[in-house]
Copies of this chain bind each other. A is one copy, B any other.
Amino acid sequence: MRNFPVAKSRRLRSTPYTDRIEAHGVSSYTVYNHMLLPASFKSLESDYHHLKKFVQVWDVAAERQVQISGKDSAKLVQLMTCRDLSMSKVGKCYYAPIIDDDGLLVNDPIINKLAEDKWWLSIADSDVIFFAKGLAAGNKFDVQISEPNVNILAVQGPLADDLMSKLFGDEIRQLKFFNFNYYEFKGHKYFIARSGWSKQGGFEVYVDDDLAGQNLYDSLFEAGKEFDVKPGCPNLIERIEGALLSYGNDFDNRDNPFEANFNKYISLDTDVNYLGKAKLKIINEEGISRKLRGVKIDHNKIDMYCEKTLFDDNKNIVGYVRSAAYSPTFKKVVGIAMINKPYWNMKDQFRIEIDEKIHLGTVCDLPFV
């Protein structure tokens, strides 16, 4: 795949950390929520091996927050997601698919409950803020909706606790998965969650002050020398192996949450009120004809810029690969694919064309084991 430079502009927003990651050797960008998101540093594979062994600091400011507050905020947030939030608690994070009136996916944010009447939807790559504003205006809800100046730094990898406790004290080791709390460093209080877009463990620091964020960035690298800390970013190989789905890559507004395997986040039998509930009940009764599955391909390289078709021996369509990368662990290309129902447990190999040659592969479970 040839390289094409990204043409920078104000529209593709920089972050408070952009100067630092460029000095640290970022080697490619993607664009996410109208913002620059680093996609690689040394190389995908080198970043991958380091992430699985040490600790990295990530500029994931592109994970923007949609802040919803006010009297009707809980009602609006519940209306947007098929996950039952009626028992939700302040200080906790909820992975929650957002769906529209047709039962189709709009986003898959982590919803942070800051107060009974204040929420942050930490979003994937679509403008959830306008969905929320449309719904609020249409329903005449008493809410305030904004995108606060919050720029997340993630600290990810098996040594994340060791690094973070050097700055924030040992109490941060007690923070449970998908919980958040406030921790002080050099006079600034940071909102920190145990979460992140890798399966290697770690934290996300929701920084609400640019200077405090830059200071934290520098301090993490200073304190992290003993742990071989490096700059990093959500890693394509690692996130596919761990089946961390990506809106726009693995699923989008033409897919429903059953097709994306979100079943455990779909509440059909409670009396919570959300958009598309009637539609989801119908889909649930009728069943789905395709869903996301893993694929392994006997090859050492793949470039993805649109979905690739999988065929069986009789040239019937098995499904479509949507994300894929070579995995040094499995010594194969691993991918996430929308697979047609007859092939969900396919025993035979499928065929896929890569660089004008046919390669063979198999359908498997997600995450990869």
Which residues of chain A have a CB within 8 Å of any CB of chain B?
1-14, 18, 22, 26-31, 34, 39-40, 100-101, 106, 125-139, 147, 236, 246-249, 253, 275, 303-307, 322-323
Contact = CB atoms under 8 A, between A and B. Distances in A.
B10 A322 contact: yes
Nearest to A305: B8
A22 B305 CA distance: 13
Looking at A39, A134, A139, the one whose CB has the most chain B CB atoms below 10 A away is: A134
B125 A130 contact: no
A30 B10 CA distance: 11
A131 B137 CA distance: 10
24 contacts: A1-B8, A4-B5, A5-B6, A6-B30, A7-B30, A9-B30, A9-B304, A10-B306, A10-B307, A11-B30, A11-B125, A11-B247, A12-B31, A12-B305, A14-B305, A14-B306, A34-B126, A100-B130, A101-B137, A126-B130, A127-B131, A128-B130, A129-B253, A134-B137
A40 B4 CA distance: 10
Given A128-B130, A137-B135, A275-B137, A30 B5 contact: no
B28 A6 contact: yes
Given A34-B125, A130-B130, A306-B14, A100 B137 contact: yes
Looking at A3, A39, A303, A305, the one whose CB has the most chain B CB atoms below 10 A away is: A305
A13 B306 contact: yes
The quantity of this chain's copies bound in the complex is 2
Contacts of A147: 253
A247 B18 CA distance: 22
Given A10-B249, A29-B4, A134 B125 contact: no
Contacts of A304: 8-10
A130 B101 CA distance: 11
A311 to B, nearest CB: 19
Contacts of A137: 100-101, 134-135, 138, 275
B136 A101 contact: yes
B135 A106 contact: no
B40 A7 contact: yes
Contacts of A7: 28-30, 39-40
Contacts of A128: 130
Looking at A10, A30, A135, the one whose CB has the most chain B CB atoms below 10 A away is: A10
Contact of A130 (B39, B106, B303): B106
A57 to B, nearest CB: 19
A82 to B, nearest CB: 14
Given A6-B28, A31-B6, A34-B248, A100 B138 contact: no
A89 B294 CA distance: 50
A181 to B, nearest CB: 30
Looking at A7, A100, A249, the one whose CB has the most chain B CB atoms below 10 A away is: A7
A322 B11 CA distance: 9
- Closest A-B pairs by Cβ, 9 of them: A138-B138, A134-B134, A11-B248, A7-B39, A127-B127, A130-B131, A31-B31, A3-B5, A134-B135
